[in-house]
Amino acid sequence: MPKLSIDGREVSVRDGTTVIQAAEKLGIFVPRYCYHPGLSIAGNCRICLVEVEKFPKLQIACNTPVTEGMVVHTNNEKAEGGRRVVLEFLLANHPLDCPVCDQSGECDLQNFYLNFGLYDPRFREQKVKKHKAVALGPHVMLDQERCILCSRCVRFTDEITKTGEFGIFNRGDHAELGIYPGSELNNRYSANVVDICPVGALTERDFRFKARVWYLSSAPTVCNGCAQGCNMDLHYVLDRPHLNDGARVVRVKPRYNPDVNQWWLCDEGRYGFGWIDRARLVKVLSRDGEVAAAWEQALAAIAGALKGGRIGVIASAQLTNEELFLIREIFWRALGAQVSASVPVKPGSCDDFLIQADKNPNTFGATLLGLAGPDAPTAAQIVDEALAGDLDVLWVMDHDLVELFGEEKVRGLSEKVGLFVFSGTNENATVPLAHWVLPSAAYVEKDGTFVNFKGRVQRIGRAFPPLQDSREDWRILLELAGKLGLPLDWQSPEKIFLALAKAAPPFEGLSYEAIGAQGVRVAVAP
Amino acid sequence: MMEALVIKLVLAGIVFFAALNLAGFHTWVERKQSALIQDRIGANRADIFGFRLLGTLHGVADVIKMFTKEDIVPAGANKTLHTLAPFFSVFFALVAFAGIPFGDRLILGDRVIELQIAKIDAALLYIFAMLSLEAYGVILAGFASRNNYAILGGIRATAQLISYEIALGMSVLGVVMVYGTMDLAEVVRAQGRMIGGWLPLWGIVTQPVAFFIFVTAALAETKRLPFDLPEGESEIIGYFVEYSGMKFGMFFLTDFLETIVVASLSTTLFFGGWQIPYLMPDGFHFPWGGVLLVPNPIYVLLGVASFSIKGLIFCFVFMQLRWTLPRFRYDQLMSLGWKGLFPIAVVNVVVTAVALVFFGKAS
Amino acid sequence: MAVRVVRRHELTFWEKIYIPQILCGLKITFTHFFRNLFLHTAHLVGRFKNVPASVTIQYPEELRPLMSRFRSRHRLTLREDHTPRCVGCMLCETVCPAKCITIVPAEHPDPNIEKYPIRFDIDLGVCVYCGYCVEVCPEDAIRMDTGILDVAAYSREAMRLDIHELMDPGLRKPVSRCNLKFPHKCGLNGGEMKGSWDAPRP
C-alpha cells in the first residue's frame, strides 16, 4: 500500500494503481482523452500531464504507477502549461466546427479548452483536410477531421466487443481513424463508441442534428428492454416541440453501474425508446373502440363488472413491482381472480455480455411476488378458461394477445368474456377487440422498481408526466380499488413500495432511499 | 318695412358668413401658427387631388370627420339637454355679433344704412348679456353629460366665467364713462376725434389700464390658454368630455367665435373700431394740413377694412398668447380675477371718474 | 439621504404683475414665428434652402438617418451561391431571451457545410430586438441591418418571418414566390416542407 501525496493531500492506494486513479480517489479530476477506466491504457493523448517531484519531465497520470512517497501536482503552473501545449497540438488540425458538431456542449475539447486553453492560437498553417460525415454503420457517423486519435474506440472494439472494426491509418499529420475496408460498424454495442469518444469525431446518426445537447433534460432510469436492467439516463426535451418532430425522448445514454452494465449499453436498448412517443394510446376508449370516454365512467363500469364476477388477469412483467403488488392485493387477494404474469415471450437474441433473452425487465419481480413462476397459472391457461366461458371479466395488461395466441382466439375471447379490458401504452392488434381500453403511462412516466434477472431491485425514475389522458398503472389500480371499496389508501409508488416491503419477504426493510441510485440485490436468481 | 328687413337680413348674412368662416379658418391658423412657433411644419397632409394648399384643407377634413362621426349620448344622460347645450353655446356666441358695428353709416341714395345688425342703444349691455348666457351652454353640457368629471368641468367653467365677467364689466365701465354712451356705434364715432389735433382719441389712449384688464378678462371668457381650465382637454377633463362628432365641434366652434367676438369688441372699444386716423366722413384731414376727399362708399369700405384688419390682428395676438403662456393653476386663476383684475378695475373707474370731473367728458 | 430644502425665490414686483414676463415670452414666440415664416416663404421661392425652417422629418417620404449600430429587422446573410450562411447551430435560438427564434436543422448535401436550417422563423411579435442573436452567431449568418423599422401586420401569423423573408428582406407576407436555391423543400417549391405559417403549432 504505497502512500503518496497529490496536490498536498495524502492518500494510500493499492500497489499497481496509476496516478490518475489515485487522484480520482481523492476526488481530483485529471483531464483525460485516451484514458477510460473500462479500457486498457494507451497513454497517447498526453493531456493528463502532471508534475511528479524528482521526475525531470511531466508525467502522464494515466500510465504512471504510484510509488511510495511520490509527490504529485496536478494543477500547478507547470502541469497546466504542459496541458496547454498538448491541447494546442490536438487542436492544430481540428476543424473548429463546433456550431455544426453534435458533441458541442458535452465535448472534452471544449471543456478543457475553457479551463486551460491557449486563447491566442499560433497555428497559421493550412489544416489537413480529411473525410467528414462518413457513416460507419447503422448508428455511428465519423468525422475524421475532429478526431484527436485517442484510440478509445479502437480499444473498445478490440477489447469489449472483440470485433475490431476500428483502426488508425496513415502516419503523422495524416493519421486518421477509420474502419477496415469492407467492414461495417454494426456490432450490437456499436453506439458505445459515441459515448466514449471524447470529441465530436464519432456521433450518433439517430441523434444527428435533432437537438443541441444543452436543450436536453436528463432523468436517471433503467432500461426496460431486457431482464438485464441496464442503468441509463433518459435525455428528453419538452419545451421545444419543433425539434425531434415533437417527440419528447431524444436519446438514451448509459449510466455507470459497476454491478450491472458498467459503462455500456447495447444498441437494442439504446434505440428502443421510439414507442414512448409513437402510436401511444392517449384516450380512454369504450366498447366499440371508437368513442372516447372519461376515466370516471370507465372505472365505474369496470368496477361494477368486477364485483362478484369471475375474473382473469393477464398481468405483465413490464409493470413495476408496485403495480404487480397492487394487482396481487386487488385481484388475487381481494377478488380471488386468476392472475398471471407469466406470458409466453418470443425468444429473443441474447449474448454473454449484457443482452438477455428475456425481454421483460421485471420477470424476476413478478416471480418474487408469486404472479409468475411455477406456482402461478400461465397466461395460456387463463385464455383457455376464458374461451371455455369460465370467466366474466378478462383484464389484459400491455400484452398483444393477437400476437401471442392468434387473432381467432382473441376474437373468441372478445365474444365469450363479459368484459374484456385492455390497459397498455401503445396501439396493437388487441386494442380494437377489447371492450374497454385504458391508456397507461410508459415506464419513464412513472416511479417504481424493477428486479433484474440477477435479483437486483432498481428504481426507475419518472422523467415527465404521462401523455395526454394516459395514467400510471398504479394510479388506475388504486382508483379502481377505491371504486371497489378496498382499503388501499397509498398515495404514491413510494408508499406502495413500503407496504410491499412489509408484505413480501425478499424486499424486507427496503425503501426507495435504501435502493438508491444503483439498486440493491434482494434475492439470488434460481 | 319689408326693405328694412331685407337690409337687416343681408347684413346678418354678411356678418355670420364672415364670422363662421373666420372661425373655421382659425383651425388652420391655430395649427400653422403653433407649428411655426414651435419650429414644426404643422398639419399638411389632407389633400384634394394632390393639392394640399398649405394644409388649409384640414379644416374641411375636420368638418367632414365631425359630421360623419358617431354621435354618442351617454347612457342615462338627459338627451334633450345634452343636445341643447352645444346649440346654446354656438347660438349666444353668434348672436353677440349682432351688436358690433363694423362700419360707419353707408349712404345709398336717400337711404342711410347703419353697418350694425341690430342698432341697439345699449349694444354693449346686449353683448355682455349674450356672453353671460354663454355660461348656460357650459353648465348645461357638464350637467347633462351624467359624468362627474364633466360636471366638475362645467362648475369650474361657470365659476371662471362669472368671476371674470365682473372684471370685464368693470373695465368697460371706464370706457363707457369716458365716451358717455353704451351705443357702440357712438363709442366708435367718439373715438374719431383727436387730442391736440393729431392723437386719435382711441380707448387705448384714454383707458390703457382698462384695456389690459379687458384683454385679460376677455381671454378668460373665451376659455383658451392660459385660462383653459374648463376644458383642459387631455389632463383635467372638461365639461364637453362626453361630446363627440359635430356636437363637440360646436363647442370648438364656440371657442373660436368667442375669440372673434372678443377681438371685435376690443377693436371697437379700444382701437377705434372702423376708425382710421385722420379719416373723417368726408375724407382725410392730416394734421399737417393736407386734405384728401373720399366719397362715402369708399370711406365706409375703408372703415370696414380697418375694422377687419384690427380684428384679425387681435385674433393673431390672442393666438400668439395662447401658444406662449402656460396654464394658470385654479387658485391663481381665481386670485388673479378677484384680487388682481377686479380691484384694479374698480380703482380705474374711480380714477376715471375723478379725471372726468377735472377734465370734462371726452364727448 | 441628505435633505436639501430649496426655497422658491420670491417673485419681484415686475414678475408679479405678469405683463413684462408675458412680453418676454411673446418675444420668444414672435421671434420663432417670424423667423420660420420668413424661412418657409424663402424656401418656397428657393432661397436659404440650407437653413432649416423646422425640425420636422416628413416620415414616410423622409427617413431619419439610422445609427450604424441601430438594430432593425433581422436578415439571414448569404453565401456567394445564395445559400444561407446559417449552419443551424441554434446558438441564437438558445440565447434568445424572448424565445422568438425557431430553427429546424437538417443534413446539408455538402459534408463540408454539413448542417443548414430547413426552417428558420423569427416571431417579430415576440422579438425584443436585443441583438443577442447577432452577437452570438459564430457564422455572421444573422444581422439586424436591414433598416426596416415599419414592422406591422394584420395578424400574429404574419409577424412570424420565415426563411424566405429573412433571406430576402424585400419579401412581404404572404410569400408567393420562393427563389431560394439551397436544398429547401418548401411548399412553394412543391416540397413537403411548407412555409412556417402553415406548419401546425403544437
Q: Are 3 or more Cβ–Cβ pairs between A and C shorter than 8 Å?
A: yes
CB contact under 8 A, B35 and C54: yes
> Cα dist. A525→A230, A354, A451, A456, A506 in Å?
17, 16, 10, 9, 12
Query: Please, which residues bridge with residue B309 across strands?
Result: none
Cα distance from A236 to chain C (closest Cα, Å)?
Answer: 16
Complete DSSP assignment for chain C: ------PPPPPPHHHHT-HHHHHHHHHHHHHHHHHHHHHHHHHHTT-STTS-S-----TTTS-PPPPTT---S-EE-B-TTS-BS-----HHHHH-TT--EEEEEEE-SSTTT-EEEEEEEEETTT-----HHHHH-TT--EE--S-------SSTGGGEE-HHHHH-TT--SSP------SS--BGGGTSSB--TTTSPP-
Pairing, β A217-222 against β A49-52: unpaired
Burial of B67 (0-12, 13-18, 19+ CB in 10 A): exposed
Write out the E strands in chain B: 103-108, 111-115, 194-195, 199-200, 279-280, 283-285, 291-293
**What local confidence, expressed as pLDDT, does residue A257 receive?**
94
Give the residue from A365, A359, A299, A370 showing the smallest Cα distance to A333.
A370
Q: From CA B44, how far away is CA B55, in angstroms rounded?
A: 4
Instruction: Give the ipTM.
Output: 0.84
Mean pLDDT of C84-113: 91
pLDDT tens digits, one per residue of A97-117 = 899 999 999 999 999 999 888
Phi and psi (nearest 5°) for A192?
A: -65, -25
Q: What angle do CA C166, C170, C174 make, to 5 degrees?
A: 75
C105: contact with A, CB 8 A cutoff: yes
Q: From CA C112, how far away is CA C108, in angstroms rounded?
A: 9
CA end-to-end span of chain B, whole Å? 33
**What local confidence, expressed as pLDDT, does residue C196 receive?**
46
Is the pLDDT at A348 greater than 90? The verdict is no
Q: Which residues of B touch C54 (CB under 8 A)?
A: 35, 39-41
Phi and psi (nearest 5°) for C143?
A: -135, 160
State the DSSP H helix or E strand holding residue A420, giving kind and residue range, or none if neither. strand A419-424
pLDDT tens digits, one per residue of A128-164 = 999 999 999 999 999 999 999 999 999 999 999 999 9
Q: Which of C89, C102, C138 is facing A242, going by the closest CB pair?
A: C102
Q: Which residues of A touch C160 (CB under 8 A)?
A: none
Buried b (16+ CB within 10 A) or exposed e, A347-386: eeeeeeebbbebbbbbbbbbbbbebbeeebbebbebbebb
pLDDT tens digits, one per residue of C46-79 = 888 888 888 888 888 888 888 888 999 999 999 8
CB contact under 8 A, C30 and B320: yes
Polymer length in residues for chain A: 526
Identify the DSSP state of A275: G
**Helix C19-44 and helix B296-322: axis angle, to 10°?**
110
Q: Which residues of B touch C25 (CB under 8 A)?
A: 324-325
The residue written with cell numbers 418657409 in the block is: C40
Cα distance from A45 to chain C (closest Cα, Å)?
Answer: 26
Chains touching chain B through at least 3 C-beta pairs below 8 angstroms are C
Largest CA distance in chain A: 87
Is the pLDDT at C199 greater than 60? The verdict is no
pLDDT tens digits, one per residue of A59-69 = 999 999 999 99
Give the residue from A159, A158, A91, A46 showing the smallest Cα distance to A167.
A158
What is residue B279's three-state secondary structure? strand
Complete DSSP assignment for A24-87: HHTT-----SS--TTS-----S-TTEEEETT-SS-EEGGG-B--TT-EEESSSHHHHHHHHHHH
Q: From CA A27, how far away is CA A21, in angstroms rounded?
A: 10
For chain C, what percent of residues have pLDDT higher than 70? 87
Q: Which of B36, B212, B325 is facing C36, going by the closest CB pair?
A: B36
The per-residue pLDDT of chain A, averaged, comes to 91
Handedness of CA C105, C107, C111, C116 (dihedral sign): negative
pLDDT tens digits, one per residue of A464-514 = 999 988 999 999 999 999 999 888 888 899 999 999 999 988 898 899 999
Q: Are B173 and B206 in contact (CB under 8 A)?
A: no
User: Would the pTM of this model clear 0.80, i.e. be above it?
Assistant: no
- Which residue type sits at A321? N
CB contact under 8 A, A133 and C111: yes
Query: To probe the interface with C, which of B29, B32, B39 has the most C CB atoms within 10 Å?
Result: B39
pLDDT tens digits, one per residue of A418-446 = 899 999 999 999 988 889 999 999 999 99
Is the pLDDT at C197 greater than 50? The verdict is no
- Which residue type sits at C81? D
**What local confidence, expressed as pLDDT, does residue A130 receive?**
93
> Cα dist. C95→A137, A403, C80 in Å?
35, 49, 27
Q: From CA A216, how far away is CA C83, in angstroms rounded?
A: 29
Q: From CA C86, how far away is CA A448, in angstroms rounded?
A: 45
Is the pLDDT at B106 greater than 80? The verdict is yes
pLDDT tens digits, one per residue of A176-221 = 999 999 899 999 999 999 999 999 999 999 999 999 999 999 999 9
> Cα dist. B204→A99, B127, B198, B361 in Å?
85, 20, 15, 16
Query: Please, which residues bridge with residue B298 across strands?
Result: none
